[in-house]
Each structure stands twice: as structure tokens, then as C-alpha cells.
Amino acid sequence: MSSVSRKVSNVANGYKTKDGAGVSLLRVIVDPFLMLDAFKSENLNDYIAGFPSHPHRGQQTLIYMIDGIMEHKITKEIKDY
């Protein structure tokens, strides 16, 4: 395997916001089709409220976890949406 050096062509800055039931995150919108949310806190209570039921119609969701655990539930309300 060979490595190739590349130059950074663009740096997208994120902004602090809250989503769901008040979960703090850093959001980067790269273009109309790509949104990145970064969650980082040592306090588990920051996430306990979670994200109320919401559909992801027409969106692919990718979760990349470096460390920790997560529980994702799909409720009947969303399945029938």
C-alpha cells in the first residue's frame, strides 16, 4: 500500500447548537447533502434526554463512534411513518 500526500482544499467550520431534547453538539454543514454532528462530553447527563422520535426520510445516517456506547431505538411511530 502506498501513501499519497494531498493538500487540504477547504476547511469547514462548525457551530455549537442543540438538537433533539437539548443535546449539545458541534454541527458542520458541508453542502446541502452532508451534515456532520460531533458529540463530545464527559458528562453522561448531557445526553440523557436524547432525541425524541423523528424520521430520517430520504437520509442515510452514519454513526462513527470512537469510544463509548450508544443505544438506538426505533419506535412504532417511526416505523409506521
Over residues 1-60, the pLDDT tens digits come to 788 999 988 888 899 988 877 788 888 888 777 888 888 777 778 777 777 776 666 667
Q: Give the pLDDT confidence score for residue 74 in this predicted structure.
A: 64
Domain locations along the chain: 15-79
Q: What distance in Å separates the CA atoms of residue 74 and residue 47, rounded to the nearest whole number?
A: 17
Q: What is the pTM of this model?
A: 0.60
